């Protein structure tokens, strides 16, 4: 084929694309964008969130929608990668014209999307993002979970006061906002309460071999080891730690919550403690109802991410109803004043800054199951 012909073809193709009419005839639906990590290192989170959000939206639509309008979900995969998340956000805002964005799921992705949403004046609600700095990006940014500073503090308190632990070591991901934020909070509180951080080691997202760091830690034989990272990394760390001779009490975070943790940790997560958003043992009708329906619909018990995802939909629905329209300003205002929602992860009241006032639970892995050990209510309820 002649070269010029090829080139002409390409240019025509480009023009056609450039002129493509965006969108199609739409009925009166409320378009909501969901950015979640369906593939990549936190795939189980992303899938849980997607499942729960879809279930939540289906529930709302089945009950007649919001003020008579149904919700239409546009789901995009950010692959657990910040750049992809940013691209997805752009597409949702510029091309799909969504009324608001649900997600992303993990803090690094949220940090890439939030500035974009804020600049575009579009409300964004991450049901699961816990990084502190998320809500300080702007007034259009909201979350459905507690902050890492809260989480890290809770774990440090629990370890020092309930378990009587005097010394801790930390191994964390220096390339991940989530991990760093948790480490900062834990360290500050633990030291405040008189504990000693005897050693710290770090690694980068994607590392698989932690033998160098863990061997160093093993030499110090710490009483406890805090591992603030997602299950896909915490699992291997737990296994390698035990194999390299660490007998410490293992302390974890909500990121550990995944059905894959046990396999990845080779069973060595046994006896570990984590802070989480909810527990299947909580005696609340809403929670138990949610668990039953989710299990029936998807064939497996929901994890905390799913619960948060579902609650995210509840928050969003409440705000949409209160706002009465999809006007960004009104929606933003409504989101900021959401209150007294009886959700699967507890009662939700949004604080003016965009973070809900919620409780946390401490769970212990016993016999392969998450056992509720304690429940901590936030101050100022």
* Interacting residues with another protein (CB under 8 A): 2-4, 6-7, 10-11, 13-14, 17-19, 21-22, 39-41, 43-44, 77, 79, 81-83, 86, 90-91, 93-95, 108, 111-112, 115-116, 119, 174-177, 180, 201-205, 207-209, 211-213, 215-216, 218-220, 232, 235-236, 239-240, 243-245, 260, 263-266
Q: How far is the CB of 3 from another protein (least distance, A)?
A: 5
Residue 195 or 235 with smaller CB distance to another protein? 235
Contact 358, 346 (CB under 8 A): yes
- Residue whose CB is less far from another protein, 83 or 300: 83
Polymer length of the chain? 381
CB of 184 to another protein, least distance (A): 12
Least Å from the CB of residue 193 to another protein? 27
Concatenating the DSSP letter of every residue in 182-233 gives HHHHHHHHHHHTT-EEEEEEEE-TT----HHHHHHHHHH--SEEE--S-HHH
| Choice between 45 and 310, CB closer to another protein | 45
Cα–Cα dist 36/311, whole Å: 15
**What strands lie across the sheet with 341-343, from one edge to the other?**
341-343, 346-350, 356-357
Supply the minimum distance, in Å, between the C-beta of residue 175 and another protein. 3
Cα separation, 9 vs 21, whole angstroms: 20
Tell me whether residue 77 or residue 311 sits nearer to another protein (CB atom): 77
Instruction: Quickly count: other Cβ atoms within 10 Å of residue 70's Cβ.
Output: 15
Token representation of residue 369? 């199951």
Nearer of residues 197 and 338 to another protein, judged by Cβ: 197
Our CB check for another protein shows the closer of 61 and 97 to be 97
- CB 142 to another protein: min, Å: 19
For another protein, the closer of residues 212 and 292 by Cβ is: 212
The first and second tokens of residue 174, run together, are 């220096």
Minimal distance in Å, beta carbon 286 to another protein?
Answer: 30
In the complex, least distance from residue 91 CB atom to another protein, rounded to whole angstroms = 7
Contact (Cβ atoms closer than 8 angstroms) between residue 78 and residue 102: no
Render 306-373 in DSSP notation, one character per residue.
HHHHHHHHHHHHHHHHHH-S--HHHHHHHHHT---EEETTEEEEE-TTS-EE--EEEEEEETTEEEEE
CB of 361 to another protein, least distance (A): 25
For the record, the structure tokens of 238 come out as 């737990």
For residues 202 and 349, which CB has a smaller minimum distance to another protein in the complex?
202
Q: Which residues contact 24 (CB under 8 A, 6 or more apart)?
A: none
* Nearest-angstrom CA–CA distance, 307 and 56: 10
Give the separation between CA 179 and CA 217, rounded to whole angstroms. Answer: 18
């Amino acid at each position: 084929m002649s070269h010029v012909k090829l080139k002409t073809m390409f240019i025509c193709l480009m023009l056609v694309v450039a002129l493509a009419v965006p969108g199609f005839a739409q009925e009166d639906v409320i378009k909501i964008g969901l950015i979640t990590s369906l593939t990549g290192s936190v795939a189980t989170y992303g899938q849980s969130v997607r499942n729960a959000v879809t279930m939540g939206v289906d529930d709302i639509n089945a009950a007649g929608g919001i003020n008579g309008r149904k919700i239409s979900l546009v789901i995009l995969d950010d692959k657990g990668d910040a750049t992809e998340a940013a691209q997805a956000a752009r597409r949702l805002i510029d091309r799909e014209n969504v009324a608001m964005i649900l997600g992303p799921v993990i803090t690094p992705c949220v940090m890439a999307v939030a500035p974009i949403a804020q600049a575009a004046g579009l409300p964004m609600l991450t049901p699961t993002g816990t990084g502190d700095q998320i809500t300080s990006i702007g007034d259009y940014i909201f979350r459905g979970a507690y902050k890492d500073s809260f989480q890290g503090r809770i774990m440090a308190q629990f370890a020092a006061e309930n378990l009587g632990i005097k010394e801790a070591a930390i191994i964390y991901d220096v390339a991940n906002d989530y991990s760093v934020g948790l480490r900062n909070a834990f360290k500050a509180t633990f030291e405040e309460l008189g504990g000693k951080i005897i050693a710290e080691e770090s690694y980068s997202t994607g590392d698989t071999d932690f033998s160098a760091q863990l061997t160093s830690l093993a030499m110090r034989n710490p009483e406890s080891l805090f591992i603030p990272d997602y299950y896909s990394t915490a699992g291997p760390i737990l296994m390698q730690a035990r194999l390299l001779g660490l007998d410490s009490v293992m302390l974890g975070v909500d990121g550990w919550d995944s059905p894959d943790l046990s396999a990845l940790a080779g069973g060595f997560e046994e006896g570990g403690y984590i802070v989480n958003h909810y527990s299947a043992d909580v005696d609340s009708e809403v929670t138990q109802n949610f668990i039953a329906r989710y299990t029936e619909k998807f064939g497996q018990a929901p994890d905390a991410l799913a619960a948060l995802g579902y609650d995210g939909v509840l928050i969003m629905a409440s705000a949409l109803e209160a706002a009465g329209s999809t006007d960004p300003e009104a929606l933003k205002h409504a989101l900021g004043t959401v209150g007294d929602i009886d959700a699967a992860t507890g009662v939700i009241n949004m604080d003016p800054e965009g973070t809900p006032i919620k409780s946390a639970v401490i769970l212990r892995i016993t016999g392969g199951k998450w056992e509720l050990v304690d429940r901590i209510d936030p101050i100022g309820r």
